[in-house]
Structure 1
């Protein structure tokens, strides 16, 4: 019998009330782990310095070529996911930068932000089912 996959964040008050922690399926567990890889900077994990991705180093880098920046992040994420997330295979990754312009009429201010859209797809080891995960992050904002 496989060990249960617990939903994060843990609700410890459930244990104190005599209940079990919430469980989740494999797909949701993989998604949470991929999010952890995306949100962790290389060197941040004391015992696995190669865990994470390069987005935090690239965030403040001047983007001269968006396609080069996208490819650099894509390669970093792909390498980390293949190395650390063994529950999926045939991993494909798509990274796109989009500009988002938001105008605030009361303050007469316009904000231009860069949004990175990340899509990970592959197949789950356990079942062979297709797996897809997508998220988007905003990079350092510019105001005008």
Structure 2
């Protein structure tokens, strides 16, 4: 179904009931795919071991400075999007890395918070595109 985009995860019960799947906008489809790329470790996709972001290999590198992590994230996200998300052009990736204290089950934990912003243009209509997401690393969790 060329030109139709669907929400992930797929609701297979609708398919089994032979109901139409609700469609989403092109922009939302691109956002979903970028999120999937960013949160996928290289080698996790058995059909394509290069799918995902290579910076996860250094997720637990406690010696890396915030500026090193920022650069790794920006380079890895841009490379992944350039390779796997052909629907956007003029891709720019900016990352911000901060230490944040989290309260988890009556304990305090310091984690690195990564904010990733991707900008570019949608190739199909040349409209500006922006995606922004935050997550914590070591180990991964979402804001």
TM-score range, shorter chain: 0.7 to 0.9
Tell me which residue corresponds to 1:131.
129
Q: CA deviation at 1:103?
A: 5.0
Q: CA separation in 2, counterparts of 1:11 and 1:64?
A: 40
Q: Normalising by the residue count of structure 2, what TM-score does the alignment of the two structures yield?
A: 0.86
Q: CA separation in 1, counterparts of 2:64 and 2:47?
A: 34
Instruction: Say which SS state the counterpart of residue 13 (structure 1) adopts.
Output: helix
Tell me which residue corresponds to 1:4.
4
Of 109-118 and 77-86, more deviation after overlay is shown by 109-118
RMSD of equivalent CA atoms:
2.1
Q: CA separation in 2, counterparts of 1:95 and 1:38?
A: 12
Aligned length, in residue pairs: 139
Q: CA separation in 1, counterparts of 2:58 and 2:25?
A: 32
- 2:53 and 2:77 in contact (8 A); partners too: yes
Unaligned stretches of 5+ residues in structure 1: none
Bigger CA radius of gyration:
1
Q: Normalising by the residue count of structure 1, what TM-score does the alignment of the two structures yield?
A: 0.85
Unaligned stretches of 5+ residues in structure 2: none
Tell me which residue corresponds to 2:80.
80
